[in-house]
Structure 1
Amino acid sequence: MKIPTHRLLPLAGVGALVVSLAACGSSDSGGAAKKNESGRGPITYVQGKDNTGDVKNMIAQWNSQHPDEKVTLKEQSDQADQQHDDLVQHFKAKDPGYDVVSVDVVWTAEFAAQGWLQPLTGPFTLDTAPLLKAAVAAASYNGTLYAAPTTSDGGMLYYRKDLVPKPPTTWQELLDACKIAREHHMGCYAGQFAKYEGLTVNASEAINAAGGRFVKEDGKTADVDTPEAAKGLSFLADAYKNGDIPKEAITFQEEQGRQAFESGKLLFLRNWPYVYNLANSDGSSVVKGKFAVAPEPGPDGVGASTLGGHNMGMSVYSKHKATALDFMKFMESEPMQRQLLVKQSNAPVLESLYADPELLADPKLGFLKTLGESLKTAKPRPVTPFYPAVTAAIEENAYAAIKGSIPVEQALKNMQAAINAATGG
């Protein structure tokens, strides 16, 4: 199973590009947003590689119902940074051929700030009431919806139910259970702690759960040098220092953690839903039938999962915006959301599907109820037009703190300074 690209986002290298773009702005985007509002006709939908073929199937369903407004799929690379740069290039060229584009949740603010995405207001208003609140928040910027939530995602705690009587609901309960790991000569807890986007995800979960944040509502001003952020990052740093997070976990991305858990080397693992079926079906997995999932714990109860997923944005330069809007609504519809979940294991954005009896009874979707619970308290990564530079600052300094190279307090001061330097905050 392919790991969705929002979990593999190697965007630090484009930080300088994004800073310069955000500083320049788009000179005529306001005028472009008011053009072609009622335009209908063929459109192009741009996204990463459709490795399963299911997106092609959904587009075929649309095309059979709309012969005069057919959708053509343009597949990009399967690398997130290349997808991002391709979109930037075509937006800057005011390309009308990129009508609807798949936008990672962390790109929405950047593209909206540039004026490249059609605000979903007025004639483009979407009914967001049936959607996950966290997904709507991740598709919004400065209080305005700029994209249609399409798929979501959230972290969960995988645990060995054969060894742990009940899943921990707090950080302290998790740490107390580490004695079980030691008794069985296995690592206690791991997430994604290598120096890449996954570390921003994990650091965000710890800091958000403790009541901290990285930037203020303006998306520019750093706000991470706080006691709350220190409490969150210290949880990870202290656990690594005392061995509750095994030393090799400092190199873990998603797959290394999954493989360690499947081979019986971990008691607890923070990871995404895609792991569930693999751990139950891989021939080499020794934990088949021996694990379960729970919401991630926090300091005093359920923690704060980091939101993943993709939105569908409409280009302000599209000539067929009415068709683009209808296609976005089609992809948010119940049948398509159900298909994305069942066929691709993509978390739906329709809240009702998390309580659907048929889906909950599917053994391959044994994570669904827990994922729904996690998404209720999920939070996005920093919402900022300068995301690539901000995530680079988080990765660099969180890694140093967890590894013990510098104290947590100094790491947060460095992070604060780096974010403000990148954003002009």
Structure 2
Amino acid sequence: MRFVRSGRRVAVAAVSLSALLVAAACGGSSSDSGSGTGSSAPAVDFTKQGDIELWNGKDTSGNLPKLIAQFNAQHPNGKVTFHELPDNADQQRQQMIQNTQIKNPAMAVISMDVVWTSEFAAKGYVVPLPTDQFPTEGFLQSAVAGATYFNKLYAYPSTSDGGLLYYRKDLLDKYNLQPPTTFDEMKTACDTIKKGENNSKLDCYAGQYNKYEGLTVNFDEAVHSAGGVIVGDDGKPNVATPEAAKGLQTLADWFKNGDIPKAAITWQEENGRQAFEAGQLIFHRNWGYVYNLAQTDKDSVVKGKFDVAPLPGISGPGVSSLGGHNFAIAANAENKGTAVDFLKFMSSEEVQKSNTLATSQSPTIEKLYTDSDLVKKFPFMPTQLKSIQTAIPRPKAVEYGDVTLAIQDAAYGALQAGANGQTADSTTALQGLQTKLQTLIK
């Protein structure tokens, strides 16, 4: 799901209009950048051609510039420049909002996290796509739903994602163990392996627990797999329950007893991936992009030694938080015709297949999960599809930025207590979160 690689920079234009404008950017919301649902919005010109910028997080694979170059070679009427954003999703969102405020015309195509759709559409940061040019047949239903707001398509599905459990197959095979389906089974497996290996540098399990969007994802998965919810079927917050508290408390207790290494309190996706590749973890929760890197990175010591399974749950089978990114057209983009052409190119079956082969990122066209070339190279594709099909979306909210910050505050405090050797009070933490969410989600 994430475009991240430590120590790697992709060449971008030395001086761009965006680079000049970003210095003047400031926070807040825009009242005149368009309307997500209003009927009085002016007609959008989807024909104008010219150079544009793609605003996207850091590239993990080096493949995105290749795809951009391929498009540019086929598209003489307008070229795409890769404007590379930070690896942190929260920072990406903030920069996109800031440049909407100052009406940056160069920011044309944005890689929009599935959880931003309601906010970006309602506030007019992106424009609805013309239905006659963007058919959705054959795309994953969840991917289309994640790009839709009030029955309008605001982005074209690009990559989908569901969480996966990476595990050391060599170690599980050595001790005649099966991939765990619950946290209790995972702890039992870890205890067996650590006792047998007698390696003080080998830890049990980790996900993403730094105070950012990844923590919201991991909290969401723990709560749902314990039988709880953040928002109920009626659309109202319902997180102050014994089931939700059990999910958060389990993570905090695992920090306290060392089954999750204390250092993981600062980890994002790349930190965990690097620890797994270094042979420091038996089990690791991450996204599909890790598979290709763990097999190909020159420093990976787990090449040929790991496999992938569905996420384990707290009280039963695990459930993933739905991930993914979709390409949207910014409301202030000057050359929306080029943007339309680029969206069609990037979401085409041919390009999605080539991107998956190069990166192991999950496609949004459903039949690609049974494509013989993809399954041969990435045998985990059927597992990934199941994870996506059963994934649960994070709360949909116009003020999603405030919602996720409230979740992170509550979850991080509990996990930090555990990492400090204290017993977390998850019940009180979630009572406070419930009160905040009731003011944010109505």
Q: TM-score range by the shorter chain?
A: 0.7 to 0.9
Q: Which moved more, 1:38-47 or 1:112-121?
A: 38-47
Report the Cα offset of residue 333 of structure 1.
Answer: 0.6
Secondary structure of the residue aligned to 1:384 is coil
Which residue does the alignment assign to 1:371?
A: 384
CA, structure 1 residues 395+353, in 2 after alignment: closer, same or farther (shift >3 Å)?
Answer: same
CA, structure 1 residues 50+198, in 2 after alignment: closer, same or farther (shift >3 Å)?
Answer: closer
Q: Which moved more, 1:160-169 or 1:299-308?
A: 299-308
5 Å matches for 1:13-412? Answer: 21=29, 25-26=31-32, 28-29=34-35, 30=38, 33-37=41-45, 39-42=47-50, 44-48=52-56, 54-68=63-77, 70-80=78-88, 81-120=90-129, 122-123=131-132, 126-164=134-172, 165-184=177-196, 185=198, 186-215=202-231, 221-282=236-297, 284-299=299-314, 302-318=317-333, 321=336, 324-362=339-377, 365-402=378-415, 403=418, 404=422, 406-412=424-430
Report the Cα offset of residue 347 of structure 1.
Answer: 2.0
Distance in 2 between residues matched to 1:253 and 1:76, nearest whole Å: 19
- Which letter maps to 1:245? I
CA, structure 1 residues 325+281, in 2 after alignment: closer, same or farther (shift >3 Å)?
Answer: closer
CA, structure 1 residues 273+397, in 2 after alignment: closer, same or farther (shift >3 Å)?
Answer: same
Secondary structure of the residue aligned to 1:128 is coil
* TM-score for both structures, normalised by structure 2: 0.79
- Which letter maps to 1:382? P
- Which letter maps to 1:401? A
Secondary structure of the residue aligned to 1:152 is strand
The answer on whether the counterparts of 1:43 and 1:99 sit within 8 Å (CA) in structure 2 is no
Query: Aligned residues, how many?
Result: 406
Report the Cα offset of residue 166 of structure 1.
Answer: 1.8
In structure 1, runs of 5+ residues without a counterpart are: 8-16
CA, structure 1 residues 194+181, in 2 after alignment: closer, same or farther (shift >3 Å)?
Answer: farther
Distance in 2 between residues matched to 1:36 and 1:319, nearest whole Å: 10
The answer on whether the counterparts of 1:203 and 1:233 sit within 8 Å (CA) in structure 2 is yes
CA, structure 1 residues 226+142, in 2 after alignment: closer, same or farther (shift >3 Å)?
Answer: farther
* TM-score for both structures, normalised by structure 1: 0.82
Distance in 1 between residues matched to 2:62 and 2:270, nearest whole Å: 23
Q: Which has the higher contact order (CA 8 A, sep 6+)?
A: 1
In structure 2, runs of 5+ residues without a counterpart are: 7-25
